[in-house]
Amino acid sequence: MNGSALAQETRLTYSSYLELDRLLDVQRPRSRDHDEMMFIVVHQVYELWFKLLLHELGRLQEHLEAGDSGPALHTLRRCVAVLQVAVDQMDVMDTLTPAQFAGFRGCLGSASGAQSAQFRELEAVLGLRDRTALEHYEEGGAERLRIEAAMGRRSVLDSFLHYLSLQGYPMPAEALHRDPVLPFEAGRAVREVLVQVNRDDMVPAQVGEGLLDLDRLLQEWRYRHTKMVQRMIGARRGTGGSSGAAHLATTWATPTFPVLWEVRGA
């Protein structure tokens, strides 16, 4: 390390390393209402967790497709821990009363949580192939391109099937080389392999358990979010013209990896 780089390194502080001046300057309420600050901070923190999850899930897929069981399990545990914190964070949102939310809701304009591009990208990385999710984003825009790119490459579940093949399980070729743009449909042969993985109860089964933990926590997050919206606005439409709790209530019980649940107990 040269003298200039060393001098710069010694000037590094906690604040400068984390760029706290920038980070703590992006909470800008649009009303004078006290409770809007909490609302902004919680949602910004969610976006940071989503960013970390996308980062870790990319690494998880690398480990799975390389057949590296130990690193894959370690990364899965981190993903599960992050998602658990995201679920628990809803406790903070639940301190907001309907009257308090009404105090600044009008300042939200057309902004809606349904517009979170990182969450839509996260769904796509895990395997959702719902093109209607792109409607909130400008065609050719950076957010839409990221979501479309995630829909066009292998999902986490696809990577898990490749991992099982590397562990010696007879995964059918049509599952390993399927078009990732299409929704995943598990055939009989895939189900039989997954049943055998569970019966063997070895490390590959532990990886599958980690994926189920992710799925469970994502469903729990959706449920908590739905109930929070119902408590805040009842059956009214959400901000930005979204359908509010009515639509959310139809999604929270939908599993991300349905086939992993379907083979339980078989």
Helices 98-105, 36-66: crossing angle, 10 deg rounding: 90
C-alpha dist (Å) from residue 233 to 88, 105, 106, 168, 244: 21, 10, 13, 52, 8
The whole-angstrom separation of Cα 191 and Cα 91 is 38
Structure tokens at 26: 């992006």
Please report which residue ranges of the chain form alpha helices under DSSP H: 3-10, 14-18, 20-23, 36-66, 69-88, 90-93, 98-105, 117-126, 142-151, 156-166, 173-176, 188-200, 203-233, 245-248, 258-262
Binding-site residues for heme, in ranges, read 225
Binding-site residues, in ranges, read 39-43, 105, 225, 239
Residue 264 neighbours by CB distance under 10 Å: 11
Structure tokens at 59: 């690494």
The whole-angstrom separation of Cα 84 and Cα 96 is 21
Binding-site residues for substrate, in ranges, read 39-43, 105, 239
Sign of CA dihedral 124, 211, 90, 234: positive
C-alpha dist (Å) from residue 55 to 3, 42, 174: 33, 20, 28
The whole-angstrom separation of Cα 140 and Cα 134 is 11
Structure tokens at 99: 């009257």
For the chain, state the CA radius of gyration.
21
